[in-house]
């Protein structure tokens, strides 16, 4: 009987292994299949038949705009007075201007940081006030609870005393 169960277990494990192998193969094909398909399609589409058409050659840039070849780089911006003034500035002046711009950026950043810091301080102050209110209310409740416990102990003692007296006089309670 144990040999038959062992044979069934062996068949079941073999079947499970086959299923797992098939699942792995299908998963691999699902993941890599599209990439392989597009790669093969691209390599096939690159092969095109020879063209037997008699098309004119494409036009050159000189044929499209013949005056474009006569321009030289030295004429660039010669008619712009703002550009001439910028080009005349000394390197030191340009550095000073850059430093001024960076200083403005730093001042703006500092102003923004200060505004944010002040807002954070206001919010923190509000939360601090709320915390103090909450602590005060907690202390008040805690004091009231302690007083109630003391009164409860006092009432229990008094009740116990009255029960003793009642039993002394012959009262049979519950």
Element (H, E) at 104: helix 91-168
How far apart, in whole angstroms, are the C-alpha atoms of residue 127 and residue 144? 26
User: Nearest Cα to 60, choosing from 47, 52, 69, 73?
Assistant: 69
Domain residue spans of the chain: 90-174
Q: What's the whole-number mean pLDDT along residues 14-19?
A: 90
CB 68 within 8 A of CB 62: yes
Reported as a single tens digit per residue, the pLDDT across 110-130 is 999 999 999 999 999 999 999
Reported as a single tens digit per residue, the pLDDT across 128-158 is 999 999 999 999 999 999 999 999 999 999 9
pTM of the model: 0.35
How far apart, in whole angstroms, are the C-alpha atoms of residue 79 and residue 81? 6
How far apart, in whole angstroms, are the C-alpha atoms of residue 74 and residue 79? 11
- Helices (H), ranges, 46-90: 61-64, 81-88
């Amino acid at each position: 009987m144990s040999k038959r169960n062992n044979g069934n277990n062996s068949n079941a494990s073999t079947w499970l292994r086959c299923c797992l192998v098939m699942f792995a193969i299908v998963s691999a094909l699902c993941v890599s299949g599209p990439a392989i398909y597009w790669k093969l399609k691209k390599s096939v589409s690159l092969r095109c038949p020879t063209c037997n058409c008699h098309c004119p050659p494409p036009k050159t840039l000189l044929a499209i705009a013949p005056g474009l070849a006569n321009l030289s780089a030295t004429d660039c911006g010669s008619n712009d007075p703002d550009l001439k003034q910028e080009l005349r500035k000394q390197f030191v002046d340009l550095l000073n201007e850059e430093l001024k711009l960076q200083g403005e950026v730093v001042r703006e950043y500092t102003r923004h940081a200060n505004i944010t810091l002040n807002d954070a301080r206001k919010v923190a102050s509000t939360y601090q006030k709320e915390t103090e209110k909450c602590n005060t209310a907690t202390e008040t409740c805690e004091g009231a609870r302690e007083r109630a416990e003391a009164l409860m102990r006092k009432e229990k003692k008094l009740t116990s005393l009255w029960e003793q007296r009642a039993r002394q006089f012959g009262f049979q309670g519950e």
